[in-house]
Amino acid sequence: MTPHDSILELRRRLRAAILGQERAIDRLLIALLANGHLLFEGLPGVAKTRTIKTLATHLDCEFRRIQFTPDLLPADVTGSEVYLGEQAPERFTFQPGPIFANLVLADEINRAPAKVQSALLEAMEERQVTIAGTTHPLPPLFLVLATQNPIEQEGTYPLPEAQLDRFLLHVAIGHPDDATELAILRLVRDEAGGATGDARDRIPQDLVFAARAEVAAVESAPPVDEYIVALIAATRRPAAYGEQLAQWIQVGASPRGSLALDRTSRAHAWLAGRTYVTPDDVRAVVRDCLRHRVILSYEANAAGVTADQVIDEVVKSVAVA
């Protein structure tokens, strides 16, 4: 089985287990292929956690779930030095935390205070953890897959922009339609009755790395690169693209925004079976790449304007070279 066939098979399995969330599943696979972290945001019960756990079920990997709570400590995430006693050959040994896994589910990440959230920064950016002056590398396959609830405010700690920027994608998940919810009801009823579903072999990590190599080889023509840069520039200099955008945007996307658009558009094109990127690939992922990187003004928030609406206006204002 080729790497492309393997990833398509993985997508088929996910779609069989997670109904009505095809777009979220595709974004999860794009994050896997582009080697970037992902933040799922949605109301309770829309299968955020189930989607990530199902991916871990069908992928040959080590999976750890961290339930973020206000009393969580940084050492609960990263691990710590453990004292073994005076008689031990080495008095201290490092006990790895749950961050030392291939897929790390940071469930309800905004429920932990800033000190715990910051414990993830080095791991997400440098793919390593430093404890007591010693640096410990993380596995070659390492993804932080986080979830958060957009409506709860009490007892939560909003993620700072610096940490949001480290997520490759910020994916918003909504409720399913009525027909899909009926199918979900029957699927869960069958699972409760003992139906096992698809129990085929797990997809090995080697195929994931081979797929990433093919994604990296996807060609992006100069006009597409210029289009990506123009989209990011429009968020930084909105006054050049209209008075309305200038009123809505307070801070534009960082260079990580253009890098994210490049990586994810390549993965999107590869999933579609193409070896080249088109502007449509860029537009397909632009919301998920930029909705957490564009900071809206007070006027925009007061008027109820969303980040998605601002990004849509940016896309309308920027022409393809």
Model pLDDT for residues 196-218, shown as the tens digit of each residue: 555 568 999 999 999 999 999 99
98 falls within a domain: yes
Given 185, 207, 229, which residue is the final one in a domain?
A: 207
The overall average pLDDT reported for the chain is: 90
189 falls within a domain: yes
Q: 269-309 pLDDT, tens per residue? A: 999 999 999 999 999 999 999 999 999 999 999 999 999 99
Give the range of the structural domain holding residue 224, as residue numbers without chain letter: 218-317
Q: Are residues 225 and 203 located together in one domain of the fold?
A: no
Tokens of 11: 């997508």
Decide: pTM greater than 0.85. Answer: yes
241 falls within a domain: yes
The upper half-sphere exposure of residue 6, i.e. CA atoms within 13 Å in the direction of its Cβ, equals: 21
Other CB atoms within 10 Å distance of the CB of residue 223 = 11
Q: How many domains does the chain have?
A: 2
Q: 7-54 pLDDT, tens per residue? A: 999 999 999 989 889 999 999 999 999 999 999 998 888 888 889 999
288 falls within a domain: yes
φ and ψ at residue 310, rounded to 5 degrees = -65, -45
Angle, CA of 241, 243 and 284, to the nearest 5° = 45
CATH code, domain carrying 260: 1.10.8.80
- Taking alpha carbons only, the member of 64, 150, 168, 158 closest to residue 111 is 158
Q: Dihedral of CA 295/300/304/305: which sign?
A: negative
Given 144, 174, 207, which residue is the final one in a domain?
A: 207
Given 141, 173, 207, which residue is the final one in a domain?
A: 207
